[in-house]
Amino acid sequence: MRPGVKTTVRVKKISSKKELERAFRIRIRVFVREQGVPEEIEVDVDDQRATHLLAYIQGKAVGTARLVMRQGSAKIGRMAVLKRHRRKGVGKKLLRRAIATAKRQEARKIYLHAQAAVIGFYESVGFRAIGPMFDEAGIPHRKMIL
Ligand SMILES: CC(C)(COP(=O)(O)OP(=O)(O)OC[C@H]1O[C@@H](n2cnc3c(N)ncnc32)[C@H](O)[C@@H]1OP(=O)(O)O)[C@@H](O)C(=O)NCCC(=O)NCCS
């Protein structure tokens, strides 16, 4: 991409099994292959009831996120953007859409577990870190709330 050329990112709510498989493929590439998370914990029971989002650039799925309601609060998670499409605003657009979806579902609170390395990403959209660092899937995390 030439500098100054704007990338058009489209985010949509997943509505078919085929799209869900696209999201899982992105998650496997990012969390399992790139970050070494065990495959057996990457897809979990929450995937069955979550709202899933997919981000597209020129018709290609490049990022995903999900939203799970828990006791009236919304937990955003599994945010993943393919490596070569990072730092183009894809993650931010996904996160903003996840927040809007949580608000529409009347979430009392919106929170997530951020990998320590990307706290700055979530801060850029208004989340703040609370509480101590903890381990999840072998990676240091902190809870963040909006
Ligand atoms: C974290 C992730 C989703 C961010 O996606 P992205 O598309 O690269 O992010 P964006 O381009 O939308 O960046 C949005 C803002 O966050 C900042 N940002 C992006 N990645 C960052 C990082 N690693 N550390 C600090 N800030 C970061 C950007 O500078 C940008 O700020 P700006 O709006 O002021 O320019 C992506 O890096 C990723 O998939 N990482 C691997 C998987 C992962 O760690 N997921 C999070 C699990 S909690």
Which pLDDT tens digit goes with each residue over 3-16?
555 679 999 999 99
To test the pocket of ligand 1, the residue of 27, 94, 118 to mutate (highest count of ligand atoms within 8 Å of its CB) is: 118
- In this prediction, residues 84-112 reach a mean pLDDT of 97
DSSP-derived pairing of the beta strands 51-57 and 60-70: antiparallel
Task: Identify the CATH assignment for 9-109 out of 3.40.630.30, 2.170.190.11, 3.30.200.20, 3.40.250.10.
Answer: 3.40.630.30
pTM over 0.85: yes
Q: How far is the CA of 120 from the centre of ligand 1 (A)?
A: 8
> Tens digit of pLDDT for each residue in 68-81?
999 999 999 999 99
CA of 88 to the centre of ligand 1 (A): 9
The pLDDT of residue 1 is: 52
- Residue 82 near residue 2, CB atoms below 8 Å: no
To the nearest whole percent, how much of the chain has pLDDT over 90?
Answer: 94
In Å, how far from its chain's centre is CA 6? 22
84 lines ligand 1 (CB under 6 A): no
Boundaries of every domain in the chain:
9-109
Q: What is the pLDDT of residues 33-64, one digit of tens each?
A: 999 999 999 999 999 999 999 999 999 999 99
State mean pLDDT over 110-119.
Answer: 97
